[in-house]
């Protein structure tokens, strides 16, 4: 874009209700936050278990920074791989039932590193149309043939797999979809990967810590196992800290160490965060009550929004999307909630399809029943 076109392009975004603005938190992440100097009940965070400001994680970080310092200093393959990283990778692999795991700085880099390390020209990728942007960008940058199938349409995926001439095939899908909150058909995806000799990359950013026994993720929730599965999850959502990891067979992880450019050519995650994440794993496994409270809040929200003129999508996860439709209307509703001390983000195109602008209500174990009641009452009031 030419420099002189920026002004008009920004003006057009404003007119279409698509211009985004950052809000500044002046408190730790949590169910109750201070934003731009005003207190809010927040339904805007992916801190699903309420761990981002947990005292035990704060204490673990304080201890770790004294032991490891602040920065990683170099890439993992030069001099930036610390004992804290090594221990966390082993713990993560065991936690999700895989042979080995590899840390990345964030989920975007993890997805990009995996896809581009496994496929290239002459190969083929098959992706759900509602996949996260990081997966889509990874597919494009891989230079493999990039084919998309309708959301959760396993028949369409099977037809694409059956007709491709590519030798190396990769299926990519979110395990829990970030804007709709629904869960992918895991059994069917694994069965198709096995049948057509394809890799399956599952992005469990929104399932890790929340789904499965003791929060061990979507694969264990569905009790599936296959050497073709590549499991990715992020550590800045339910885990409450930062980073991401990829887990799978030991051979797969070794290949990523050798060929995942977003792992090789970047400074390692600060080791103090890796040490903190070991404590986070303990809390995720130990505190089943967090997932129980989360599910209770989700049920309370659904009951409180029954009969509303806007449609709440049928999600059983912490992501509860309320479809408003028009971009301007979605902004007006979110501003109305903000005036009432409730922070719920309006999600608009291109993140979601045109005509499906929505409130993305994120429920956390940190919410109490009164928080949910206040949101339901406010939405009922604004819907009149």
What residues are labeled active site?
178, 206, 237
State both tokens at 81.
């791989």
196/128 Cα distance (integer angstroms)? 17
70 φ, ψ (degrees, to nearest 5): -105, -55
Q: Could you tell me if 110 and 245 are in contact, meaning their C-beta atoms sit under 8 angstroms apart?
A: yes
173: which residues sit within 8 A by CB, 6+ positions away? 127, 128, 131, 184, 189, 200, 201, 202, 203
Residue with tokens 């230079």: 143
- Which of 276, 290, 135 has its CA nearest to residue 209? 290
176: which residues sit within 8 A by CB, 6+ positions away? 182, 183, 184, 204, 205, 206, 207, 211, 218, 317, 319
190/208 Cα distance (integer angstroms)? 18
- Which of 300, 275, 277 has its CA nearest to residue 51? 277
**Count of C-beta atoms within a 10 Å radius of residue 33:** 20
């Amino acid at each position: 874009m030419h420099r002189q076109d920026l002004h008009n392009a920004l003006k057009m975004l404003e007119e279409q209700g698509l211009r985004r603005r950052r809000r500044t938190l002046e408190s730790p992440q949590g169910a109750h936050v201070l934003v731009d100097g005003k207190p809010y009940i927040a339904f805007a965070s992916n801190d699903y278990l309420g761990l981002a400001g947990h005292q035990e994680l704060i204490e673990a970080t304080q201890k770790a920074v004294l032991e490891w310092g602040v920065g990683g200093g170099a890439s993992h393959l030069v001099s930036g791989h610390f004992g804290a990283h090594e221990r966390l990778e082993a713990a993560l692999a065991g936690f999700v039932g895989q042979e080995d795991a590899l840390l990345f700085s964030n989920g975007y880099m993890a997805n990009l590193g995996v896809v581009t390390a496994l496929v290239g020209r002459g190969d083929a990728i098959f992706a759900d149309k509602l996949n996260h942007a990081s997966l889509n960008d990874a597919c494009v940058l891989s230079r493999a043939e990039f084919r998309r199938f309708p959301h959760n349409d396993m028949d369409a995926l099977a037809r694409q797999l059956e007709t491709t001439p590519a030798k190396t095939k990769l299926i990519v899908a979110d395990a829990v979809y970030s804007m709709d909150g629904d869960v992918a058909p895991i059994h069917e995806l694994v069965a198709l990967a096995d049948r057509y000799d394809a890799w399956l990359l599952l992005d469990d950013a929104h399932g890790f810590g929340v789904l499965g026994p003791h929060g061990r993720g979507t694969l264990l929730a569905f009790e599936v196992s296959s050497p073709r599965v590549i499991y990715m999850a992020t550590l800045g959502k339910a885990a409450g800290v930062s980073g991401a990891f990829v887990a799978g067979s030991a051979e797969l992880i070794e290949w990523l160490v050798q060929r995942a450019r977003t792992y090789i050519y970047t400074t390692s995650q600060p080791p103090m965060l890796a040490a903190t994440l070991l404590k986070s794993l303990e809390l995720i496994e130990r505190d089943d009550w967090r997932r129980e409270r989360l599910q209770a809040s989700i049920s309370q929200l659904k009951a409180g929004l029954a009969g509303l003129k806007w449609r709440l999508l049928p999600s059983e996860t912490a992501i509860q999307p309320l479809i408003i439709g028009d971009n301007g209307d979605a902004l007006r509703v979110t501003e109305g909630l903000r005036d009432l001390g409730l922070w719920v983000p309006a999600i608009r195109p291109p993140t979601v399809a045109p005509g499906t602008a929505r409130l993305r209500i994120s429920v956390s174990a940190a919410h109490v029943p009164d928080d949910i009641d206040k949101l339901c009452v406010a939405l009922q009031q604004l819907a009149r």
